[in-house]
C-alpha cells in the first residue's frame, strides 16, 4: 500500500489545510506552504514508499528543485509504512497508533480541560508560550515557527464546521498541557500533545487526550481514532488508552545548501 493511503499521511494532508499546496508527481507528492517556509512538514516531498539509501541524493535533488522558490530551512523527505515493514534510511521514526474507541483516563484532581475558543486571546497566547518553552533548546527560529503554527490552528478553529480545534488543560489559572485535534466522519486525530515540564508524569496528557478523543467520537461514532507517538513513553501512554501500533512514519532531512 502506498504511503499516501496510510492513516497518518491521510490525516496529515487534511491537517495542513488550504494554505498548503499538494502537487502529485506519480511516485511522490510535493508539499508546499509558501506562507510558512519554516513549516518542515508543510514543505517536503511525501514519498509513496520507503527510499533506498542509494537513492537519497537524487530524492534530495528533487526536493531542492521543488522548493527552490521558498527560503526553507531544511529539505525533508517523509513516508509511512504499514505494520512492521522496513522503514528504510530514516533519521526519525514515529509510531502510528489507532483505536476504535478511547479508554477513559484516570481523573487528575483540580484539572480543568476545555476546548479553546477562537476569540480567547489569552488562551492562544498561553498555548504559544507552552509550545515555545517545550522547544526552547531549538532557538529563536522555533519560537517564530510556533507562533505561525498556532495561528494557523486558530484560523482553522474559526471555520465552520470547525474540523480542527485546540484543547487545553489547566490547573487553576496555569496552562499545563495542550493538544490539537482534527475530526471527520472517518478519522479523529489528536496531535501536538505538549505538557509543561513541571507537570509531566501525572496523568495530565492522558486525561487531555482522552477528553479530546471522546468529545469528537460522540459526533463521529464510526470514526477511527489516530495518534502518532514520538517516543516510547508516548507510545505506552496511548497504548494504555487502548491504541495499537499499526505502522510507522519516517523522515530524513538535510540542509538546503
- pLDDT, one tens digit per residue, over 30-64 is 999 998 898 888 999 999 999 999 999 999 999 99
> What CATH number is associated with residue 159?
3.40.630.30
**Is residue 172 in some structural domain?**
yes
**Is residue 88 in some structural domain?**
no
Same domain, 68 and 126: no
Regarding predicted confidence, which is higher, 220 or 19?
A: 220
Same domain, 47 and 121: no
Query: How many residues can be counted in the chain?
Result: 257
Q: Check: CB of residue 114 under 8 Å from CB of residue 170.
A: yes
Same domain, 63 and 119: no
Per-position DSSP letters for 233-251, written without gaps between them: HHHHHHHHTT-EEEEEEEE
Mean pLDDT for the stretch of residues 117-143: 92
Same domain, 131 and 212: yes
- Of 152, 184, 118, 167, the C-alpha closest to 18 is 152
SS3 of residue 24 by DSSP = strand
Q: Check: CB of residue 66 under 8 Å from CB of residue 45.
A: yes
Same domain, 58 and 156: no
Strands 187-195 and 174-183: antiparallel
* DSSP code, position 219: T
Same domain, 66 and 130: no
Same domain, 144 and 197: yes
**pLDDT for the residue numbered 161:** 61
**Is residue 246 in some structural domain?**
no
The residue segments making up the domain with residue 153 are: 111-241
- Return d(Cα 175, Cα 134) in angstroms, integer: 13
Q: Check: CB of residue 229 under 8 Å from CB of residue 238.
A: yes
Same domain, 126 and 173: yes
The yes-or-no verdict on residue 152 having pLDDT over 70 is: yes
Same domain, 122 and 229: yes
For residue 195, the cross-strand partners are: 177
The pLDDT tens digits for 110-129 are 999 999 999 999 999 999 99
String of b and e for 195-233 (b: at least 16 CB within 10 Å)?
A: bbeebeebbbbbbbbbbbbbbbbeeeeebbbbbbbeeee
Same domain, 230 and 150: yes
pLDDT band with cut points at 50, 70 and 90 for residue 26: very high
Query: Which cell numbers hold the place of 9?
Result: 499521511
Q: Look at the block and give the residue holding cell 519554516.
A: 38
Q: Check: CB of residue 102 under 8 Å from CB of residue 213.
A: yes
Mark out the alpha helices in 71-187 (DSSP H runs): 121-134, 140-158
The total number of structural domains that make up the chain:
2
**Is residue 101 in some structural domain?**
no
Amino acid at each position: 500500500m502506498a504511503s499516501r493511503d496510510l492513516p497518518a499521511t491521510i490525516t496529515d494532508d487534511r491537517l495542513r489545510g488550504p494554505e498548503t499546496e499538494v502537487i502529485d508527481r506519480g511516485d511522490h507528492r510535493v508539499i508546499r506552504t509558501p506562507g510558512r517556509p519554516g513549516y518542515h512538514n508543510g514543505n517536503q516531498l511525501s514519498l509513496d514508499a520507503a527510499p533506498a539509501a542509494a537513492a537519497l541524493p537524487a530524492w534530495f535533488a528533487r526536493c531542492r528543485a521543488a522548493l527552490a522558490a521558498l527560503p526553507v530551512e531544511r529539505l525533508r523527505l517523509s513516508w509511512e509504512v504499514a505494520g512492521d515493514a522496513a522503514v528504510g534510511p530514516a533519521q526519525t521514526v514515529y509510531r502510528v497508533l489507532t483505536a476504535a474507541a478511547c479508554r477513559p483516563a484516570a481523573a487528575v484532581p483540580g484539572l480543568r480541560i476545555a476546548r479553546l475558543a477562537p476569540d480567547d486571546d489569552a488562551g492562544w497566547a498561553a498555548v504559544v508560550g507552552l509550545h515555545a518553552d517545550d522547544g526552547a533548546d531549538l532557538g529563536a527560529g522555533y519560537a517564530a515557527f510556533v507562533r505561525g503554527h498556532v495561528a494557523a490552528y486558530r484560523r482553522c478553529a474559526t471555520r465552520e464546521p470547525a474540523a480542527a480545534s485546540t484543547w487545553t488543560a489547566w490547573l487553576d489559572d496555569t496552562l499545563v498541557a495542550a493538544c490539537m485535534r482534527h475530526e471527520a466522519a472517518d478519522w479523529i486525530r489528536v496531535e501536538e500533545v505538549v505538557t509543561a515540564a513541571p507537570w509531566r508524569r501525572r496523568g495530565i496528557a492522558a486525561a487531555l487526550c482522552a477528553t479530546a478523543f471522546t468529545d469528537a467520537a460522540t459526533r463521529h461514532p464510526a470514526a477511527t481514532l489516530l495518534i502518532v507517538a514520538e517516543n516510547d513513553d508516548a507510545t505506552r501512554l496511548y497504548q494504555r488508552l487502548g491504541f495499537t501500533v499499526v505502522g510507522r512514519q519516517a523522515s530524513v532531512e538535510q540542509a538546503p545548501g
